[in-house]
Structure 1
């Protein structure tokens, strides 16, 4: 049986788009920014009304009450109407970028560029795909049925990440909305998908609500998306089970497949905006932008910096609005390119590489770092001989290789985590997945933080804030535990540990109301419990969890040695940052000592508002910012980019400041 590497499949056809599409960027959205963002403005109400209740709830959970950002405000209709009047055909309105994608008559391009409200006109790029996959013989599943569900041939790909175990605890992804961006979805025909809860679907290529193949599509257009959907959402007992089969789904067809396979960046950005407005919790895509059709400008490795491609910028804008984002790392590991492809270079996306059933890195799996030195991919999941549904059939399946098959497995784990703990913010979900993966103590640019595990992610402790108190949640899946023996041990600023009983527990989940500490206080903690025979267990066995009081992020107290390839810079916390409530925003980082740490804080317009430098101490360091600029004036509400340089390597972070 031959197995071919896939990232996105190539189908042969002579169909292609003959017109060139452009992005038309506008200079503004009308009036003064503060006036537009007033809750009484018409523009604010239009932006608010574009969100579903679920989207509003997700934004409030992650952003607080300031849920509408400048990017959400509508594009001015008079700008659009003037373009239409000179013969411009508008395709997508991309509010987040204050631009439209459009077909412009060749003789009108210079006219459009000269319009007083137009900032820039750029071509929409098209991606070139090289890999395909092969259909294979269906295999009978011979695994022992240890769980209530018979997983068939999909057991191996899920069991590598402990997913069947979590399913057996009744955690299956319900009440979580997952969005998939792909080539099309033949889901209504296939028995493994026809019963799934699809909330909405949209074809961003041909502008209709049908994502399965239609007459204008090339044969096989929907093969890849159908396979990907089944890996996360499929359910056919004894044949195929998806990693989060009981989630709800949004399906976006963003790719157009022709002789020289290509998709267009504006479709991807438009799909993310559509999904975010509908309240999506998690998105996953199995595509990558790097090499383009003949005559198109190709991206270079230097562009894999999280700030260049519109797809990477769209991913981060979705994340800023509370969405957990996943994407395939790419299948370029054994090519001349070798690196991850956009949008895997985005700052907050979880890029997923591939391993085989023995947890060995697949040779094709793209590697890092990003051009600015960040570790990629973040995690890995099984991406060799992954089992999924075959489009164009009612009940046939195939095996496929590629990071496009590992991404939906990983996104399913996030859905399981969020299903069990719906209070988690997207930053918490991202942090927990990275901290609980197999290589979290020594992340590298081949497998990142390691193999994702649903069991480890669910067992990792998490925090939620209720009425000013911080509640610590912890699952213990050990069936032999004595529930009354579980203790929490906390140390404040390196002092001796104090032991506490848990306040409440239900089934496997324990909840403890943390004592009150001053914000920023460094806490370390661990758990102990006894089994039914009286044997004592410590969790974690040889380290401590740590957190800064006031932050929702917990990490392991790692003791990895430092070298020139291993530097760790924490996320910014608290984020969003309210200067009038929290005195400082903070970043922690580790260093071997005597290194120059430089931080440039840049506003949304690209202007530097603050420069901070310090010589690092050995071990853990902390940097604080009070929200003021170099003139000691409190900065305006908005998104700020933190560019950090440590030992010649750069790290990029984003912060939302709210006043």
Structure 2
């Protein structure tokens, strides 16, 4: 009997070892990618129906009315059913990548590869997750009579980034949905987290809705995520306050930290898709992937190019759909690797490094550049002796070091910005954070654009478009200002400055309706105000803000023709367009590379006559149109509207076609 049991165990063990998780990529989705997607198609409707209303609103704000991309279309059910008939256990359906992750035995690999609808099959890599350096000193709730301010020990980490000042103005992250990807969250029992607004949570490791430790978890599984959640979302008066404590939250458990602290890439991608569909505004992950199990291929520094790992590509796909994305830079500064880790290499993610309470760079904080030469990290926040909640307790807290603790502080600053200015696109949020950080004049690969500041981000001017007009918003937190003395000074193409009074004022925020200029016109501007003694203050003190009329990003220190914040799109030329004479019309635009460009050409009746999509190259790009529609027939004379989406940012142009 015992021999039979032993034999059975050997057989089961051998079978289990032969199983591995793979990505199975499909060749198509049943719709030709080159053909404009019809809104009446069943695939389009399935994609729309998968989105919550908040996701649709966020996409419309960032993408306009064309809210569905090809990647959003569902996977083909007949392909999934064929895999299931083979006994394949599908784990995650990843429509963004037109693939599934599935548990596959070795004897099925060649069979799957031979299927006519399968493009490729690749192992899902199991990744080493490195814990933060946790300090042993723990503090209990009843030890806080020594702290007189309402933040307790969390004051230091927030004050370094000017968060308490912004909180004092009633800006606390409300109406913003933040998604956290981590090891698990013991939030329901801890007094600093139990009152927080958790909209949804999901365990992508064990496929259930419980993110706190369960019987199959190892002790300490949810320690890391609980700490991270408390740093951004915690609230316990006079003990711990998070950087965006009144935001709402989505919690995704994506890691399994048993033994060698394994993480699987498909969990991360599936969690981002889940969050995006639910309408998340901001995501933050405290993960870094570069090393793998013995016997598996590791990533190399050459792979830190933003285009190789599933997690980095998933982050950029989320950004393309209007999500502001943050991640920790990594804790590799003292190791042989030293560089940032995926997904910090993604093109549009804000990778966050660490500094101490005196704003000195932490030695463990990973550095840049990416392999293709982009500056990383983007910003830094406090990541040494950061205070947070201790999982497994109701009232205990701990300190920790690591970029895992700086990322939630920075993401919280973005939540404060978006809470105050909900009209901001994710592109604007990213631009403002980089422009307003302390080192934006000379960014480098140790601290990036510098220490993130909630005050500077909120005070940085921003633009919103309303009914064809452009409104300029500006906050002045200086309590000594005379509100009636504030002036805006604008110069067009280097001409002399013209001064204007602001149109409206409310709660420290001034709003000005910009005069009408031609699209693409370069403007420079600054502000002045007097204090109660009549002393004049200029903002900025020694330079001007810059913008192109018709675009939403405002620049100060960053170069107009560099980095992935440059979304300049030229006018159409020639205009009017005579197809028989001019052959083609052109649009030029700049890109940092690997950005999605989409052009919809609309006739006067509102019908789309042509769709052009491409992935941008670094630097200057050119798009041409020969005047024909999708059926290769020359369009009629009339007015045509060019609706352009570049990396989630919208542009509108008008063209007159004459035959």
Instruction: With the length of structure 1 as denominator, give the TM-score of the two structures.
Output: 0.86
| Paired position in structure 1 for 2:590 | 587
| Paired position in structure 2 for 1:215 | 215
Q: Aligned partners of 1:576, 1:428: CA distance in 2, in Å?
A: 19
For residue 314 of structure 2, give the secondary structure of its aligned residue in structure 1.
helix
Task: Evaluate the alpha carbon distance shift between residue 625 and residue 520 of structure 1 in structure 2; reply closer, same or farther with a 3 A threshold.
Answer: farther
| Paired position in structure 2 for 1:488 | 488
**1:135 matches 2:129:** no
Matches within 5 A, 1:99-498: 99-132=99-132, 133-138=134-139, 140=144, 145=149, 150-498=150-498
Deviation at 1:586, TM superposition (A): 3.1
Task: Evaluate the alpha carbon distance shift between residue 347 and residue 624 of structure 1 in structure 2; reply closer, same or farther with a 3 A threshold.
Answer: closer
**1:627 matches 2:628:** no
For residue 528 of structure 2, give the secondary structure of its aligned residue in structure 1.
strand
**1:60 matches 2:71:** no
| Paired position in structure 2 for 1:10 | none
Task: Evaluate the alpha carbon distance shift between residue 37 and residue 392 of structure 1 in structure 2; reply closer, same or farther with a 3 A threshold.
Answer: same
Q: Is the 8 A contact 1:177 1:282 kept in 2?
A: yes
Q: Aligned partners of 1:640, 1:428: CA distance in 2, in Å?
A: 14
| Paired position in structure 2 for 1:571 | 565
Q: Is the 8 A contact 1:381 1:452 kept in 2?
A: yes
Q: Is the 8 A contact 1:628 1:635 kept in 2?
A: no
| Paired position in structure 2 for 1:74 | 74
For residue 573 of structure 1, give the secondary structure of its aligned residue in structure 2.
coil
Q: Is the 8 A contact 1:576 1:656 kept in 2?
A: no
For residue 399 of structure 1, give the secondary structure of its aligned residue in structure 2.
strand
Q: Is the 8 A contact 2:459 2:474 kept in 1?
A: yes
Task: Evaluate the alpha carbon distance shift between residue 329 and residue 201 of structure 1 in structure 2; reply closer, same or farther with a 3 A threshold.
Answer: same
Q: Is the 8 A contact 1:578 1:657 kept in 2?
A: no
Any runs of at least 4 consecutive aligned residues in structure 1 with deviations exceeding 4 A, and if so which?
139-144, 557-560, 574-583, 599-604, 607-613, 623-626, 631-641, 653-659
Which consecutive unaligned segments of at least 5 residues does structure 2 have?
A: 1-15, 577-584, 599-611, 632-641, 654-659
Q: Aligned partners of 2:173, 2:94: CA distance in 1, in Å?
A: 30
Deviation at 1:134, TM superposition (A): 3.7
| Paired position in structure 2 for 1:523 | 523
For residue 111 of structure 1, give the secondary structure of its aligned residue in structure 2.
helix
Q: Is the 8 A contact 1:544 1:557 kept in 2?
A: no
Task: Evaluate the alpha carbon distance shift between residue 543 and residue 36 of structure 1 in structure 2; reply closer, same or farther with a 3 A threshold.
Answer: closer
Which consecutive unaligned segments of at least 5 residues does structure 1 have?
A: 1-16, 561-566, 590-598, 614-622, 642-652
Q: Aligned partners of 1:612, 1:203: CA distance in 2, in Å?
A: 38
Deviation at 1:183, TM superposition (A): 0.2
What is the aligned-residue RMSD (CA, Å)?
A: 3.1
Q: Aligned partners of 2:220, 2:319: CA distance in 1, in Å?
A: 32
Deviation at 1:106, TM superposition (A): 1.6
Question: Which stretch of structure 1 is more off in the superposition, 31-40 or 355-364?
Answer: 31-40
Deviation at 1:640, TM superposition (A): 9.7
For residue 178 of structure 1, give the secondary structure of its aligned residue in structure 2.
strand
For residue 158 of structure 1, give the secondary structure of its aligned residue in structure 2.
helix
Q: Aligned partners of 1:600, 1:195: CA distance in 2, in Å?
A: 42
Count of residue correspondences: 601
Deviation at 1:144, TM superposition (A): 5.8
Q: Aligned partners of 1:584, 1:330: CA distance in 2, in Å?
A: 40
Higher gyration radius (CA): 2
| Paired position in structure 2 for 1:46 | 46
Task: Evaluate the alpha carbon distance shift between residue 124 and residue 483 of structure 1 in structure 2; reply closer, same or farther with a 3 A threshold.
Answer: same
Q: Deviations over 1:404-425 (max 9, x none)?
A: 0000000000000000000000
Q: Is the 8 A contact 1:54 1:278 kept in 2?
A: yes
Question: Which stretch of structure 1 is more off in the superposition, 574-583 or 486-495?
Answer: 574-583
